[in-house]
Structure 1
Amino acid sequence: MAIKAGDFIRISYTAKLEDGTVIDATDEEVAKEHGIYNENARYGDIAIVVGEGQVVKGLDEALIGKEVGFKGEVVVPPEKAFGEYDPENKEVVSVTRFKEKPKPGQKVRIGNKIGTVERVIGRRAIIDYNHPLAGKTLIFDVEVKELVEDVAEKVKALFFINTGIDVNVEVKDKKAIVEVPRGAYFVQNFIIGKFTAIHTIFKYLDIDEVDLVEKFTKEEQKSIMEALKEVKSKEAEEERKEKSEEGEKSEEEKEVS
């Protein structure tokens, strides 16, 4: 049976550039072999909803019409990957906006945008806001492993791909009971991603209710309070940085005027 939009499938892939440079892989050994291993990442086959934009557009579209068991190469042009490179999507900022002098290649956040330091000239840094893969053609060696049929597995997959967190799921009638790991509510990706996951569950599955359950015990109270203290400390630091950036930006505007 041909794969169609809305199907839940499990895939594996290796992504590379036209020169053969491997940039991403679902297989841990492949990632290690090519020097892109991330100890914080979870490796293995991933479950996605075809047509939901959970992989780059070109790969998403190419999966439609394929059969389970398909194994082959998919070439994705820039406009269906991370877009064309825009030479105007850059900004010159003062190095005083950073805690330490930035270095070329460093990832930085300016306001609500993330960019890469292109170069530093004196007290000014040129920040490139293009995606690092903008303008690149991507080549995927992909395999469609299976069609995911179990509803609980579908719910679990949606939470992982949207939050990066593994959850336990039980489905009763039309209710999905999702057991959330302790501390998940302190993770920014979960706080935001859970809404996308739930929206997608209602969109594709015959589920009328999603209950999120987070269990705590008295013995765990100390670690919970320590985690909360750490979160508050990070929030205070972020607030301090934002105020500092606003003040420095104001000083820059005065210099220009």
Structure 2
Amino acid sequence: MIKKGDFVRVSYTAKLEDGTVIDSTDESVAKEHGVYEEGARYGSIVVVVGEGHVLRGLDEDLEGKEAGYKGSVEVPPEKAFGEYNPDNKEVISITKFKERPVPGQRVQVGEKVGTVEKVIGRRAIVDFNHPLAGKKIIFEYEIEEIIEKPEEKIKYLFLIYTGRELEPKIEDGKVIVEVPKDASFNQYFLLGKYTVVDQIFKHIEGVKEVVFMEVFEKPEEEKDKQGSAETEEKSEAEGEEKEE
């Protein structure tokens, strides 16, 4: 039976009460219903039960199930995107925006993201409720498998928190991870890896240490130059020996 802390692979399609599809792990379904996102990763996903990787209502419904389960769950607003708060709106001068806003546009104001409801003269009314606040979400989902291997669990933790597919190794209680060169300059990876470390210690038994390795190889061009230089030195040395 699935419990908190288990790593499970799931696939799902999320709908509103009227049947409108709002999300799906199936690329063909996403395209069919106009919710496809270019560049998004499609296919089943791995989540850690209880860690909030999916909406709370779905997360809670995973508990007590088994691999192979297929079913659906109705998630109320309070366990989805929250209740709708009519007071969560602000009147903002259009001078705060780079371009004149239009109704329906998603905008960022400071650290908040909202939807432009109306534009009246030089002021805009921005609704900071989530677009799906107050909505019941229905998930049709399947639990495809439970991930058991520690290396696989760690691999998916990196994918979840950094977006990178890495191949960790475990040796004598030590997790060894080779970091791609470009990842060292990626802010998302640099911040996410600390969360991964915390999650490793929390969910992977027997791990006492996490080691990140950076491997740098000499560029081929420099290798060729060095090889040529060594060949020339060898030829000169052989020439000197013959003269002697």
Match of 1:209 in 2: 209
Amino acid across the alignment from 1:211: V
Give the whole-Å Cα distance in 1 for the aligned partners of 2:219 and 2:101.
Answer: 44
**Equivalent residues in 2 for 1:184-195, closer than 5 Å:** 184-195=183-194
Is it true that 1:88 corresponds to 2:102 in the alignment? no
Match of 1:57 in 2: 56
Give the whole-Å Cα distance in 2 for the aligned partners of 1:117 and 1:183.
Answer: 38
Q: Using a 3 Å threshold, how does the CA distance of structure 1 residues 217 and 21 change in structure 2: closer, same or farther? A: farther
Give the whole-Å Cα distance in 2 for the aligned partners of 1:213 and 1:119.
Answer: 52
SS at match of 2:34: coil
Amino acid across the alignment from 2:212: L
Match of 2:237 in 1: none
| Paired residue total | 219
Unaligned runs of 5+ in 1: 221-257
Q: Quote the sequence identity (%).
A: 62
Give the whole-Å Cα distance in 1 for the aligned partners of 2:109 and 2:85.
Answer: 18
Cα deviation per residue 1:65-87 (whole Å; 9 max; x = unaligned)?
Answer: 01110001111000111110111
- Aligned-residue CA RMSD (Å): 1.8
Give the whole-Å Cα distance in 1 for the aligned partners of 2:191 and 2:215.
Answer: 20
Amino acid across the alignment from 2:130: H
TM-score, normalising length: structure 2: 0.83
Contact 1:168/1:180 (<8 A) preserved: no
Match of 1:12 in 2: 11
Cα deviation per residue 1:32-86 (whole Å; 9 max; x = unaligned)?
Answer: 1111111221111111111111111110111100111000111100011111011
Cα deviation per residue 1:144-182 (whole Å; 9 max; x = unaligned)?
Answer: 000101111101111211222322222222222223344
Contact 1:107/1:116 (<8 A) preserved: yes
TM-fit CA distance, 1:103: 1.9
TM-fit CA distance, 1:215: 4.1
Match of 1:114 in 2: 113
Contact 1:69/1:146 (<8 A) preserved: yes
Q: Larger radius of gyration, structure 1 or 2?
A: 2
Amino acid across the alignment from 1:100: E
**Equivalent residues in 2 for 1:18-167, closer than 5 Å:** 18-167=17-166
TM-fit CA distance, 1:194: 2.2
Give the whole-Å Cα distance in 2 for the aligned partners of 1:44 and 1:159.
Answer: 17
Amino acid across the alignment from 1:209: E
More off after superposition, 105-114 vs 42-51: 105-114
SS at match of 1:183: helix
SS at match of 1:30: helix
TM-score, normalising length: structure 1: 0.79
Cα deviation per residue 1:192-233 (whole Å; 9 max; x = unaligned)?
Answer: 32222221111111222222334444549xxxxxxxxxxxxx
